A and B are shown apart, each in its own frame.
Chain A
Amino acid sequence: MNRLKRILQYGVLPWLGALLIWQLASMPSNPDFLPGPYRTLQGAIELAQDGSLLTYIIYSFYRVFTGWLLGSLIAIPVGLAMGRIRIIRAITEPILNFVRFIPALAFITLFMLWFGIGEQSKIILIMYGTIFTVIINTMTGVLAVEEDKIRSARSMGASEWQILLHVIIPATIPYMFTGVRLAMSTSYMAILGAEMVAANEGVGFLIWNARLYFKTDWIFVGLIALGLMGFATDRLLGFIGRKLLYRYGIVFTSSSARKPA
């Protein structure tokens, strides 16, 4: 009974079900049109043997991680300043609310023109995709800090700088965390587009390039690799959040792994 519960908990059954449906759906079809799980596995082995799969994953991950990290490092101080200083908010918010609706993908050509076709333009694209989400979440967090907390800190002798450091920032951490977590998923979207348009490596390149050889199974390998990469980074982020930021009240909703004992 307990084992069954555990199996249900980790979502094993839905996956088995999905594989089964995939297999059944692919059976009457030409593998070039819809390859089944087994064919896809073969494709994955092909790609793994010459090392290209791992290289592509590392490339994509490196771009996402670098752009996301740099973007967050810029966005958090900006969000804090916008939340804390009314005049900065008044000046920047209208522009921000305009620009943030332009998806990162729309900038691919421009960024290539401005920053070249190398890594730089891709990392900047990810930064662009990250920055707005993180800024807005951070700013919202700052604005949500209860006035009573600030007042009590002030009447206990805290300076404005100390209030920022010891009240505003800790109180905003859950919001920042939500921001960087959401930005991670938009980063994967952006990198895929960039690698399809202009790259010679990466998972996006793999998916796009497969069409030249009619290797539909490689496309499936790319899709699954993306899903796993996203899943793994999100879980890792959640783990770090729970372990290091527990006291700041990080609530990490990973639906399956958490349950009453």
Chain B
Amino acid sequence: MTSQPAGQTPAAIRIENLRKSFQAGTGSREPHYIIKDIDLTIKGGEFFILLGPSGCGKSTLLNMIAGFIGKTEGRIALGDNEIERPGSERAMVFQQADASLFPWLTVRENVEFGLRMKKVPKARRKEVSDRYIALVGLAGHENKFPKELSGGMKQRVQLARVLANDPAILLMDEPFGALDAMTRRTMQKELIRIWQETKKTVIFVTHDIQEAILLGQRIGIMSVGPSSRITDLYDIPLAYPRDLSDPNVLDLLSTIESHFDE
């Protein structure tokens, strides 16, 4: 329940002809698409970045993969199964930890939440929460409440909380967007370490090009909405940990930046 057999990679996510429209108002003739014609395959275990400007629909796409909101047309499948609703194999790390953590629960109780919902016995819960609290570097803070933690630590709690349910896929919606630059850099390194340790598929939404290049194995660039699509895909074959002073990183940075200059 808490760790997949070694060597087994999670199933791929296949997105075909995906469209999402607002419910068209009575007056409008054309449906208003937020997302139009997205085709994308994300391999199991891949660290995939969705990069685009604010309001381009990348969070909408992520929420559709999570099953929080429905699609208008097309297909999203995990392996052979169509995604229709939220499932515990997909876990979301939200941008605002304050909005998603449970402030009345301690760090440990937050991390154990999913296990408690599944009626996992207490001793087993403690074992799992100990492990993931340590993994995200929060050992010693188990009995604190979220309001006693800094922004970066709260995001660590969110990460531990979803990891405790052992999802195959981590969906991350600008999770470090609200952090200061230094904490953000630390969290990026930590995330890479945790990803390498746990071998999850990660779909990471950001509008920060540097962050995209430091983290992703592949970057999908979304066009400005409405009717946004994935216009380009970049493979980033660089080894981790990556460094902003690496000339290869700088090259990519200017290439990708030129996309947004037009």
B245 → chain A closest CB, angstroms: 36
A245 → chain B closest CB, angstroms: 9
In B94-120, which residues have CB < 8 Å from any A CB? Answer: 94, 96, 99-105, 113-114, 116-118
B52 → chain A closest CB, angstroms: 21
Find A153's partner among B66, B94, B104, B113 (CB 8 Å cutoff): B113
B225 on interface, CB distance cutoff 8 Å: no
Q: A151 touching B102 by the CB < 8 A rule? A: no
When distances are taken between beta carbons in the complex, the residues of chain B under 8 Å from A166 are 113, 116-117
B162 on interface, CB distance cutoff 8 Å: yes
Q: A156 touching B91 by the CB < 8 A rule? A: yes
Please, which residue of chain A has its CB at the minimum distance from the CB of B147? A249
A6 → chain B closest CB, angstroms: 29
In B149-182, which residues have CB < 8 Å from any A CB? Answer: 161-162, 165
When distances are taken between beta carbons in the complex, the residues of chain A under 8 Å from B67 are 155
A14 on interface, CB distance cutoff 8 Å: no
When distances are taken between beta carbons in the complex, the residues of chain A under 8 Å from B87 are 155
In A17-43, which residues have CB < 8 Å from any B CB? Answer: none
Cα of A118 to Cα of B116 in the assembled complex, Å = 49
Find A156's partner among B68, B105, B165 (CB 8 Å cutoff): B165
Q: B117 touching A158 by the CB < 8 A rule? A: yes
In B59-84, which residues have CB < 8 Å from any A CB? Answer: 66-68
Cα of A147 to Cα of B67 in the assembled complex, Å = 14
A146 → chain B closest CB, angstroms: 4
Q: B100 touching A247 by the CB < 8 A rule? A: no
When distances are taken between beta carbons in the complex, the residues of chain A under 8 Å from B147 are 249
Cα of A26 to Cα of B147 in the assembled complex, Å = 53
B60 → chain A closest CB, angstroms: 14
Q: B88 touching A156 by the CB < 8 A rule? A: yes
Q: Which of B's residues lie within 8 Å of A, judged by CB?
A: 66-68, 86-88, 90-92, 94, 96, 99-105, 113-114, 116-118, 145, 147, 161-162, 165
Known: A151-B92, A247-B145. A156 touches B104 (CB 8 A): no
Cα of A90 to Cα of B118 in the assembled complex, Å = 34
Q: B117 touching A151 by the CB < 8 A rule? A: no
Q: B100 touching A146 by the CB < 8 A rule? A: yes
Please, which residue of chain B has its CB at the minimum distance from the CB of A155? B86
Known: A148-B99, A157-B117. A249 touches B162 (CB 8 A): no
Cα of A152 to Cα of B99 in the assembled complex, Å = 10
When distances are taken between beta carbons in the complex, the residues of chain B under 8 Å from A148 are 94, 96, 99-100
When distances are taken between beta carbons in the complex, the residues of chain A under 8 Å from B88 are 155-157
Query: What are 9 A-B residue pairs whose CB atoms fall within 8 Å in the complex?
Result: A146-B99, A147-B99, A151-B86, A153-B113, A156-B165, A158-B113, A159-B117, A167-B102, A247-B145
B86 → chain A closest CB, angstroms: 4
Known: A152-B94, A155-B86, A155-B88. A249 touches B103 (CB 8 A): yes
Known: A149-B99, A170-B102, A247-B145. A155 touches B117 (CB 8 A): no
Cα of A170 to Cα of B110 in the assembled complex, Å = 13
Cα of A149 to Cα of B177 in the assembled complex, Å = 19
- Listed residue (A149, A156, A162, A247) with the most chain B CB atoms within 10 angstroms of its CB: A156
Find A151's partner among B66, B105, B118 (CB 8 Å cutoff): B66
Q: A247 touching B104 by the CB < 8 A rule? A: yes
B260 → chain A closest CB, angstroms: 28
A68 → chain B closest CB, angstroms: 25
